[in-house]
A = this chain, B = another copy of it.
Amino acid sequence: MSAIERPGIVLSDTGANAALWDNAFRKTAPDLNLVHDTGARDLSGIRYGMTWKPRAGLYERMPDLAALFVLGAGVERFVADPTIPPQVQIVKMAEPGLTQSMQQYVLWQVLNHHRRFWELEAAQREARWIDQTYPAPWARKVGVMGLGTLGVAVASLLKSFGFDTSGWSRSAKAINGVTVFSGAEQIDAFLDGLEILVCLLPLTAETNGILNADVFRHLAPGAALINVGRGAQLNEADLISALDSGHLSAASLDVFATEPLPETHPFWRHPRIFVTPHLAADVDPESAVLAVQRQIARFEAGQGLEHVADRKRGY
Q: Is A245 located at the chain interface by the 8 A CB criterion?
A: no
Residue of B nearest to A162 (CB): B100
Residue of B nearest to A273 (CB): B124
Q: Which listed residue, B100, B115, B132, B277, touches A132 by the CB 8 Å rule?
A: B277
Q: Using A105-B115, A108-B111, A127-B263 as known contacts, say yes or no to A100 and B137 having CB atoms under 8 A apart.
A: yes
Q: Inside 8 A of A105's CB, which chain B residues have their CB?
A: 115
Q: Inside 8 A of A274's CB, which chain B residues have their CB?
A: 121, 124
Q: Inside 8 A of A282's CB, which chain B residues have their CB?
A: 133
Interface residues of A in 261-292 (CB under 8 A from B): 261, 263-265, 268-269, 274-277, 279, 282, 284, 286-287
Beta-carbon contact of A124 and B162 below 8 Å: no
The interface bits of chain A over 125-150 (1 if a CB of B lies within 8 angstroms of the residue's CB, else 0) are 00101111110110000000000000
Q: Inside 8 A of A112's CB, which chain B residues have their CB?
A: 108
Q: Is A57 located at the chain interface by the 8 A CB criterion?
A: no
Beta-carbon contact of A104 and B111 below 8 Å: yes
> CA separation between A309 and B130, bound complex, in Å?
30
Interface residues of A in 232-250 (CB under 8 A from B): none
Beta-carbon contact of A277 and B129 below 8 Å: yes
> CA separation between A309 and B207, bound complex, in Å?
57
Beta-carbon contact of A111 and B107 below 8 Å: yes
> CA separation between A100 and B162, bound complex, in Å?
9
> CA separation between A265 and B137, bound complex, in Å?
33
Q: Is A92 located at the chain interface by the 8 A CB criterion?
A: no
Q: Using A127-B263, A260-B129, A268-B124 as known contacts, say yes or no to A276 and B108 having CB atoms under 8 A apart.
A: no
Beta-carbon contact of B284 and A131 below 8 Å: no
The interface bits of chain A over 178-218 (1 if a CB of B lies within 8 angstroms of the residue's CB, else 0) are 00000000000000000000000000000000000000000
Beta-carbon contact of B277 and A130 below 8 Å: yes
> CA separation between A129 and B263, bound complex, in Å?
8
Q: Is A117 located at the chain interface by the 8 A CB criterion?
A: yes
Residue of B nearest to A279 (CB): B132
* 20 interchain pairs, CB-CB under 8 A: A97-B136, A100-B136, A100-B137, A100-B162, A104-B111, A104-B115, A105-B115, A117-B276, A120-B276, A120-B277, A124-B268, A124-B274, A124-B275, A127-B261, A127-B265, A127-B268, A129-B259, A129-B260, A132-B279, A136-B286
Return the 5 tightest CB-CB contacts between A and B, nearest first.
A129-B260, A127-B268, A129-B277, A108-B111, A127-B263
- 17 further A-B contacts with Cβ under 8 Å, apart from A107-B111, A123-B277, are A97-B136, A104-B114, A104-B137, A107-B107, A108-B108, A108-B117, A117-B276, A120-B276, A121-B121, A124-B275, A127-B261, A127-B263, A127-B264, A127-B265, A129-B260, A129-B277, A131-B279
